[in-house]
Structure 1
Amino acid sequence: MAKGYWIVHGRVDDPEKYDLYRAANAAPLAEYGGRFLVRGGAQETVEGEAKPRTVVLEFPSYQAALDCYRSDSYQEVLKLRQGISEEDFVIVEGYDG
């Protein structure tokens, strides 16, 4: 079964309030088996355009990635991020080769 991924390119406008979102998202992510592969850090856009922050999370399956995002617990946490950041957020199925 292919894994699922959240791929997020974002910009944080209020780092203090964003820290509240970051702390609160740990519970729903753990519930669905999500783990960070990339969480900010240095990046260089070599083609096209991207926001200054990239986050990649891996889930045990594509369905788990979808279910986590759509869960009541994550949707509550998501409210903490609204209005303080801007994201391009994609949920994608991994490749099993």
Structure 2
Amino acid sequence: MTAYWLALVDVDDEAAYKEYAQRAPAAIEAYGGRVLARGGRRVGLEGAEPPGRVVIIEFDSVEQAEACFNSPEYQAARALRSDAADARFMIVEGLQ
């Protein structure tokens, strides 16, 4: 069953975030991740103002999505992001 990374990101340091954005895709692709949405236009419809960036990445399973997030490759990229942005990440299981 598919699973999705859903990331809500507010970038504080554009230059440092750019380094993360250059390194993360290789780790995501290595685990079969497919980027469906990254940045782009957001339209708030209800509730709090949307974050600066919304990212959606599809994986073949929750296990694959978790393995990617916990991988040494992604964690190295994540270390760059942690100082550059405030981010909330979650995995959401898709429908059968």
What interval of TM-score do these two structures reach, taking the shorter chain for normalisation? over 0.9
SS in 2 for 1:10: strand
Percent of aligned pairs sharing the same letter: 37
Instruction: Tell me the equivalent position of 1:21.
Output: 20
- The ranges of structure 1 where at least 4 consecutive aligned residues each deviate by more than 4 angstroms after the TM superposition are none
Structure 1: gaps of 5 or more residues: none
Q: Count the aligned residue pairs.
A: 95
Query: After superposition, what is the alpha-carbon deviation per residue over 1:57-88, rounded to whole angstroms, capped at 9, x for unaligned?
Result: 00111110011001111111110001210011
Separation in structure 1 between the aligned mates of residue 57 and residue 92 of structure 2, nearest angstrom: 10
Instruction: Tell me the equivalent position of 1:57.
Output: 57
Note the C-alpha offset of 1:7: 0.3
SS in 1 for 2:40: coil
Structure 2: gaps of 5 or more residues: none
Note the C-alpha offset of 1:52: 2.1
Query: After superposition, what is the alpha-carbon deviation per residue over 1:18-62, rounded to whole angstroms, capped at 9, x for unaligned?
Result: 111011012111110011100010111111123121110001111
Instruction: Tell me the equivalent position of 1:31.
Output: 30
Amino acid at match of 2:60: P
TM-score, length of structure 2 as denominator length:
0.93
Amino acid at match of 1:62: V
How well do the aligned residues superpose, as a CA RMSD in angstroms? Answer: 1.0
Separation in structure 1 between the aligned mates of residue 28 and residue 82 of structure 2, nearest angstrom: 18
